[in-house]
Amino acid sequence: MTPENEEEKDQEVLDAAGMKSSNLSLSLQGLLLDAPITMSEDLISRILFLLVVTLITSTEIAARETIEQVMADALSKCGSKRSFVQAVCLAVSGVNHPTDQQRILGWLRDIFPSHVRLYVRNDAVAALASGTMGKVHGCVLIAGTGSIAYGFTEDGKEARAAGAGPVLGDWGSGYGIAAHGLTAVVRAHDGRGPSTMLTSSILQTLGLSSTEALIGWTYADFPWARIAALVPVVVTCAEAGDEVANKILLDSVQELASSVKAVVERLGLCGEDGKSAFPLVMVGGVLEANRRRWDIGKEVMNCISICFSGVIPIRPKVEPAVGAGWLAWNFLMKECDKG
């Protein structure tokens, strides 16, 4: 195995096991479908099993054990047996290569009987599917603690932008916004930057008395989500007229929009004239439409629509786990049609 492949394997293991998961089990009758069901009643009565996993750990053994446990929990909740499962769609952060998919498919094959159809995809695909009812076409922009833009053409080509983590420049993410807010506080304290209400707001939010204490807080514990939790403070300051906070958000909008533009242009989703219609699914806390004045998602969409007039914004009303369910259904239907 080459060093590059070793790094890919380590990243996949890092993302595929640990502490956070969302799973969902649905009967086929429970899915809202845009195509009629043409399969036998026996198949319709079976359980469609699906889940999305975004987890953190350090070993492949832990990754496998976590997936097995989540599977068992979901089956227990719906009162089903493994032999009743018809299809499994596992959407996992960090699974970007066929070698990653094959490794996890091997784990799943050890768990389920041979008749079960198994599918493994990146979690961004499930996020896209949550807004397109399982159709793998268009672009998804995810902006939570991290950020990524992922796109697919009708014929299966795909492209991504960002998503390499905060160290490598996902500055439109929640972590990026909050980190710039913290940096602005330190710069103002040093005299290297303008005064900002971010100083008092962040210190008050964290219960700290000084910028020196803020430095200690920042490095005391370093999960990305801990930093990203300060995004609402930056938004509140921007809404109150703070120029520093406002610029941070404007910069984040440009970062997120540039990621989408890169994917759309590489895949030609906008057509040769730049006006073809394509869906843009927007997922993640940073993009939620719950701001009084500063709606980051709306500003990103305004920026993108200037370049691509055919963009169709979609804010899903269901979780990515449901998107994984639609993916499993569509994959299963395609295989049955071929058979």
pLDDT above 60 (res 16): no
Q: Is the pLDDT of residue 20 over 80?
A: no
Phi, psi of 96 (to 5 degrees): -125, -5
Split at pLDDT 50, 70, 90, the class of 60 is: low
3-135+319-338 sits in which CATH class? Answer: alpha beta
Q: At what angle do helices 296-307 and 243-267 cross, to 10 degrees?
A: 40
Say whether 169-249 and 3-135+319-338 share the same fold.
yes
Average of per-residue pLDDT across 40-66: 49
Lowest mean pLDDT among 121-130, 179-188, 262-271, 306-315: 121-130
Query: Is the pLDDT confidence value at 313 over 60?
Result: yes
- Superfamily of the domain at 169-249: ATPase, nucleotide binding domain (3.30.420.40)
Average pLDDT of the residues in 64-91:
77
The confidence score (pLDDT) of residue 321 equals 81
pLDDT at 223 over 70: yes
Distance (Å) of CA 204 to CA 199, 200, 208, 233, 288 = 8, 6, 6, 10, 25
pLDDT at 119: 87
Counting every residue written for the chain, the total comes to: 339
Report the share of the chain in percent with pLDDT over 70: 81
8 Å CB contact between 237 and 196: yes
pLDDT value of residue 45: 31
Domain borders along the chain are: 3-135+319-338, 169-249
Give the global pTM: 0.80
Binning the chain into helix, strand and coil, the percentages to the nearest 5 are 50, 15, 30
